[in-house]
Amino acid sequence: MKAQCACAILVFVLALPLGAAENSNTSASASILPPQTNAVVQDASLSPPPKPLTKQTVSPQVLFQAGNLAYRSGEYGAASAAFRDSARAQPASGTLQNLGLAEWQRGQPGLAILAWEQAQWLDSFNRSVRGDLRFARKTAQVEAPNLAWYEVVSTWLPASWWAWIGALSFWIAAGATLLPSVFRWQKRGWHQAIAAGALTLFLLSLPAWFGIQTRSRMGFVLQKDCPLRLTPTAQAQVVTRLSAGEPVRLNRSRGDFCLVRTSRISGWVSRNELGLITQKL
């Protein structure tokens, strides 16, 4: 009997370390890779691969740098495409100026002049763009747009500035005139001075705003020897041919043709051969 009790005690003592070891291994393995982590790994293995980069995912700054590198390498076609995509995503005067330089190097004076005109539309303070336009028109022997006096005034500032100036000056004049009466403030001389100055600025901005509206219909011929037709059909009689970069004014459109007016004649040109100064790239 004593021998049996001693054997049972010995077996119990020997089994304790083994059980403790098994419990420690189990806890260690669970801390390295718990069941939740294993489930996440399995889900990740079934997820689709990442999508490749497209033009929509590339920033305008990256496209601009790519255009600069291509231009320095003499790849003017690739530079033009990169600058155009950058300007389409984020219009900027400098990007459009570089686009014009790339198009000029490609032998496309019409596209170059259009890009420089659009750059000047965004930033009328860009003197280098004005120099590029003078050089291009002198080389291509095309005339500059014939602008009315109110259109000349509209070129003094960027196009978007005139809208802000008109709106702010109007509301400042209205506020300086009406607020003292609404809040029963005593009217002072500076109230009237602010109202008069803001109203004067608003009235002065109206001709410039009108010039912006008329200049927005200004276009430029994109291709060399562009046929100016008598009627809006491909079989119509060709009245004359226009040079690339020549300025025209858009009157109306019909189908694939636009009725335009030059400084000397009117006629119809194909929509694909005309670029407006305000059109999207």
CATH number, domain with residue 68: 1.25.40.10
Q: Which helix (H) or strand (E) holds 227?
A: strand 226-229
pLDDT of res. 97:
97
127 with 64, same domain: the answer is yes
CATH number reported for the structural domain that contains residue 248 in this entry: 2.30.30.40
162 with 231, same domain: the answer is no
Task: Please answer whether residues 180 and 191 qualify as being in contact, where contact means their C-beta atoms are separated by less than 8 angstroms.
Answer: yes
Radius of gyration, alpha carbons of the chain = 36
- Asked whether residue 263 is assigned to any structural domain, the reply reads yes
Q: What total number of domains does the chain contain?
A: 3
Domain boundary pick from 175, 190, 215: 215
Report the alpha-carbon distance of residue 187 to residue 6 in Å, rounded: 113
70 with 125, same domain: the answer is yes
- Asked whether residue 113 is assigned to any structural domain, the reply reads yes
Extended beta strands in 154-225, E state: 218-221
269 with 224, same domain: the answer is yes
- Asked whether residue 13 is assigned to any structural domain, the reply reads no
159 with 201, same domain: the answer is yes
CA nearest 241: which of 267, 219, 259? 267
- Asked whether residue 173 is assigned to any structural domain, the reply reads yes
Of 14-23, 141-150, 181-190, which one has max mean pLDDT?
141-150
Answer with the residue of higher pLDDT: 56 or 20: 56
What does the mean pLDDT of the chain come to?
Answer: 83
Q: Which helix (H) or strand (E) holds 225?
A: none
CA nearest 252: which of 215, 222, 217? 217
- Asked whether residue 257 is assigned to any structural domain, the reply reads yes
Domain boundary pick from 103, 120, 142: 142
- Segments forming the whole domain that contains residue 177: 152-215
138 with 120, same domain: the answer is yes
Burial readout 126-138 (b: 16 or more C-beta within 10 A, e: otherwise): beebeebbeebbe
Q: Which are the contacts of 5, defined by CB distance < 8 A and separation ≥ 6?
A: none
CA nearest 245: which of 265, 271, 225? 225
| Percent residues over pLDDT 70 in the chain | 80
228 with 160, same domain: the answer is no
Distances (CA, A) of 245 to 40, 65, 134, 143, 218: 61, 27, 12, 9, 12
> What is the per-residue pLDDT across 196-233, written as a single tens digit (0 to 9) for each?
999 999 999 999 999 999 999 999 999 999 999 999 99
Q: How confident is the model at residue 190 (pLDDT cuts 50, 70, 90)?
A: confident
The answer, yes or no, to whether residue 42 has pLDDT greater than 60, is no
130 with 66, same domain: the answer is yes
- Asked whether residue 22 is assigned to any structural domain, the reply reads no
> What is the per-residue pLDDT across 104-136, written as a single tens digit (0 to 9) for each?
999 999 999 999 999 999 999 999 999 999 999
Domain boundary pick from 194, 215, 236: 215
Q: How confident is the model at residue 251 (pLDDT cuts 50, 70, 90)?
A: very high
137 with 76, same domain: the answer is yes
The DSSP bridge pattern shows strands 257-261 and 266-270 to be: antiparallel
- Asked whether residue 30 is assigned to any structural domain, the reply reads no
131 with 64, same domain: the answer is yes
171 with 233, same domain: the answer is no
- Asked whether residue 53 is assigned to any structural domain, the reply reads no
pTM for the whole thing? 0.77
Tokens of 119: 């750059």
203 with 232, same domain: the answer is no
